[in-house]
Amino acid sequence: MPKNMPSSLVPLSAQDLILHERELQATLARFITFKSSSLYFPKDTGEQAVADETTFDPSSGKAVYLKDEHRLLLPLVHRDKPLGVFLARGIRLAAPTTMTVVLPGVASLFLENIALAKTAQCDPLTGLLNKHAFMDLLRRTIEQAQNCVLPAADACIDPGLGISGRLSMLVCNLDHFKTVAQTHGFRAGDDVFDEMARRLRKACPKNASLCRLDKDEFAVLMPDTTPAKCLKLADKIRCAVHAESFTLKDGEHVRLTASLGCASYPNDLRGAQIASHPGEMAKILLFKALKAMSVAKEHGRDRAFSFGRILEQGGAILEMLPMNRLSLNLGRDVDAAEGLRFLVWSPKFLDEAEAKSGDGQRLLGRYPAMYKGEIVITEAQEDMAFAEIMDVSDPAWPLEPGDRLSLLDEPGKRNGPPNPAKPPQKDILTGLYGYTGFLSCLAREQSQLESYALVMIRLEGTNGAPTTGNRKEIENRVKDAASLMHEIFGAEITAGRYGLAALACIVQQGTPEAMARAAQKYCEQAVQRLGVTPALGVGYFPCLDYAKSDVLENSRKALDHALLLDTPKAAVFDSISLNISADRLFSHGDVYAAIEEYKRSLLLDEDNTLSRNSLAVCYARLSKLDQAAATFRQVMERDPKNLMAVYNFGYSCLRMGDDAAAAKAFRRCLKIDPDHLFSLIRLGQIQEAKKQYKQAATTLRKAVKLPGGEGAAARHLARLALATDQPDKARDLLHKAVTHNPGDAQSIYLLAKLYLDSGEDPEIAVALGRKCVEIKPSSPVYWKFLADGLAAMGDKDEAARARTRAANLT
């Protein structure tokens, strides 16, 4: 061990050598010159190789130079633990006696640096990633995934050049952990954490990244994972925690449970969040996972909750208020909004019903679903919301704090409550109808008017932040905003509240053009006279084939559109509003609903190339390649220089086997943008398939010179190197590809094949093969390769199981 080095380093493994092989080559190349190299892993530390009357023992730490064979065997030993052997070929040592003494020290220092870097990223107790390293990894993973998120004008439908556009994370918190430290001491707590880390590693897939966040919280990041799979893993971890007790060093046994929260990218990001910086999105995603975990605790602990389910199933009543109102634990941070309706039920009747018959026989059953009533959110704030009681099933069974909520509305629909029995009342201070009163007026006027507009206004601070201040100050702002609304939109309008700092009004016979002018004027006057920056969304009837009942939802879509604009934040429901709505549906995985929205967008504006391109992306996602190509072609006809439409058309042709049309499209991309990385790579791939190796190499070398090109083009250059019998060059390029994208299963597979086909060490090939099937478990090719590697190692039973798995997937 080098002197003055810390002793508490995270241990290294053979896998670390594989991951850092390229850096090791570069380090040793500064001291010696060799033509090629590879790693070798002895089956046990006592294995020896005899050459030139010299016994080579990897555990001794001594290098051996085989002069006649021009080979160097350099043991890689870290902290007295032999990890493997670096085999250099085509080497001539000028001073073999000196260099065979020096080089093991160089290798040892290199390994020490790797261990130090690994230790700096890990929690010292559990060996899991620490929070800083985990958040950096989450940021980088989101950054890599961004190209695949939205079907916008610059979106690429080509998943082969990047990674999946989705990922999930979960947070795990040990319930009532403080009692362990209080009862058994802090060292006992450390024992629990250490065991928890072991159970996490066992429960999680190999491609997951594990972290100890803080104290009794752990986090797991899983690339290419849907919300459903994440929730399934969370439940697996939960079961692993309470399945057996934790054994402490003093022999005591402690039984614990865990609460878990899940969040997914991009599914759980909303509005401007999805366009924010990757570092900001990482923090938002962690917040959402923690929020889901908090809801799991509120619902009784020992359970898992996903962020996407909070609004539907995670609501609860916090407090009963006067005037038929109540407070809820749902806020805008979980997408609560005015107009959402919920059924209220009591958690007291979740267990089995038990009774005794007259003869003393024990009877068991389950309570039927019993709903106590219905409520509607009238005011949504950041962390909580306020609601009104619409209906109570039984006056003798009142609503109370702790009652749970189930979302009543269909996704995307937030219909108002039925008309109240009593006439709506106006607020004394602002002169506005309350929320339910305004919806009652809206229902009445909708039945009478042949044409009208609905304006929704949200007041914001001067810097775009939500309006702040005490309740009296906010009410005065609303009063002034209401006066301005009557001044701009007309004294005869019907106006009401739509939240704490939100207003709405019905304008008779408001045409889209007139409403756009009025909305812009309102924004300008509000800034000058009231000192607030409002956002306005306007829906109108008639519009396409929408019913009158759809105007409220269309106004909300226009408001979502307005919130994304620079000042003035005003939008009349149009093709872009529908495009934004469709993008959100697409990011949530509802591709069919997104297609319908994009089609409606094109009905409003057939020249909206953004919607047309997005529609084509949806078709491609559903593997309707003919429709996708035809739609991309329509975009190209309207906008010949739409780079991504041309590229996506080319990729659609490539997937359909029309290489000539694909190559033509990629060349057209390069005329639009000579530095378009994706087009260069795909053009090089087509040239490689035609065995035009020189042309392909020239094309790919252009890609390497571009930002991000070295990593993205590495796999394709490696394939060229293999095709032209340059295995050592291919190995180096594949290491670059895996460094660029650790989830690139194809590059890992090609690297593993190099090791297996060369006959150097099947153990490395098997280790890499296992990683391939962990990343892509549905690929029979990877399972078959793993079987070949296991057979080469002599593990016939496991090889047979892998072949069976491959056969079942074929």
Summarised one tens digit per residue, pLDDT across range 188-231 is 888 888 889 999 999 998 778 999 987 789 999 998 788 889 99
- pLDDT score recorded for residue 45: 42
Residues contacting residue 268 through CB under 8 Å, at least 6 positions apart:
227, 285, 288, 307, 308
Asked whether residue 614 carries a pLDDT value surpassing 80, the answer given is yes
Is the pLDDT higher at 632 or at 340?
Answer: 632
- pLDDT score recorded for residue 366: 65
The CATH fold assigned to 640-809 is 1.25.40
- pLDDT score recorded for residue 409: 63
Residue 459, classed as helix, strand or coil, is: strand
Residues in the chain: 810
Question: Tens digit of pLDDT for each residue in 12-21?
Answer: 887 788 778 8
Asked whether residue 162 carries a pLDDT value surpassing 60, the answer given is no
- CATH classification (class only), 316-407: mainly beta
In the predicted model, what is the mean pLDDT of the chain? Answer: 85
Question: Tens digit of pLDDT for each residue in 575-590?
Answer: 999 999 998 888 777 8
Rounded to whole angstroms, the Cα distance separating 269 from 284 reads 8
Mean local confidence (pLDDT), 415-439: 71
Asked whether residue 308 carries a pLDDT value surpassing 70, the answer given is yes
Q: State the maximum Cα–Cα separation within the chain, in Å, rounded to a whole number.
A: 106
- pLDDT score recorded for residue 787: 92
Same fold for the pair 131-311 and 450-573: yes
Q: How confident is the model at residue 594 (pLDDT cuts 50, 70, 90)?
A: very high
Rounded to whole angstroms, the Cα distance separating 450 from 541 reads 8
Where do the H-state alpha helices sit in 121-156?
131-145
Q: How confident is the model at residue 176 (pLDDT cuts 50, 70, 90)?
A: confident
Asked whether residue 766 carries a pLDDT value surpassing 70, the answer given is yes
Please tell me the pTM assigned to this model.
0.73
- pLDDT score recorded for residue 502: 86
- pLDDT score recorded for residue 221: 95
- pLDDT score recorded for residue 157: 64
Mean local confidence (pLDDT), 240-263: 88
Domain boundaries 131-311, corresponding CATH code = 3.30.70.270
Q: What is the 3-state secondary structure (H, E, C) of 258-313?
A: EEEEEEEECCCCCHHHHHCCHHHHHHHHHHHHHHHHHHHHHCCCCCEEEHHHHHHH
Q: How confident is the model at residue 37 (pLDDT cuts 50, 70, 90)?
A: confident
- pLDDT score recorded for residue 566: 87
Is the pLDDT higher at 605 or at 187?
Answer: 605
Rounded to whole angstroms, the Cα distance separating 781 from 807 reads 10
Rounded to whole angstroms, the Cα distance separating 101 from 62 reads 7
Q: How confident is the model at residue 57 (pLDDT cuts 50, 70, 90)?
A: confident
- pLDDT score recorded for residue 200: 92
Residues contacting residue 629 through CB under 8 Å, at least 6 positions apart:
616, 649, 652, 653, 656
Q: Identify whether the C-beta of residue 555 lies closer than 8 Å to the C-beta of residue 561.
A: no
Is the pLDDT higher at 500 or at 804?
Answer: 804
- pLDDT score recorded for residue 164: 54
**Beta-sheet strand order (sheet of 217-223):** 209-214, 217-223, 167-174, 258-265, 304-306
- pLDDT score recorded for residue 226: 85
Q: How confident is the model at residue 464 (pLDDT cuts 50, 70, 90)?
A: very low
Q: Is the dihedral of CA 360, 364, 365, 366 positive or negative?
A: positive
- pLDDT score recorded for residue 497: 85
Q: Phi/psi at 506 (nearest 5 deg)?
A: -105, 120
Domain limits, the chain: 14-120, 131-311, 316-407, 450-573, 640-809
Q: Identify whether the C-beta of residue 530 lies closer than 8 Å to the C-beta of residue 482.
A: no
Of 366-375, 504-513, 519-528, 635-644, minimum mean pLDDT range: 366-375
- pLDDT score recorded for residue 92: 87
Q: How confident is the model at residue 515 (pLDDT cuts 50, 70, 90)?
A: very high
Mean local confidence (pLDDT), 34-62: 64
Question: Tens digit of pLDDT for each residue in 110-124?
Answer: 999 988 888 888 888
Mean local confidence (pLDDT), 758-778: 81
- pLDDT score recorded for residue 771: 83
Q: How confident is the model at residue 318 (pLDDT cuts 50, 70, 90)?
A: very high
Mean local confidence (pLDDT), 478-492: 91
CATH of the structural domain 14-120, one choice from 3.30.310, 2.60.120, 3.30.450, 3.30.70: 3.30.450
Q: Does domain 450-573 have CATH number 3.10.350.10?
A: no
Which residues on adjacent β-strands are paired with residue 210?
220
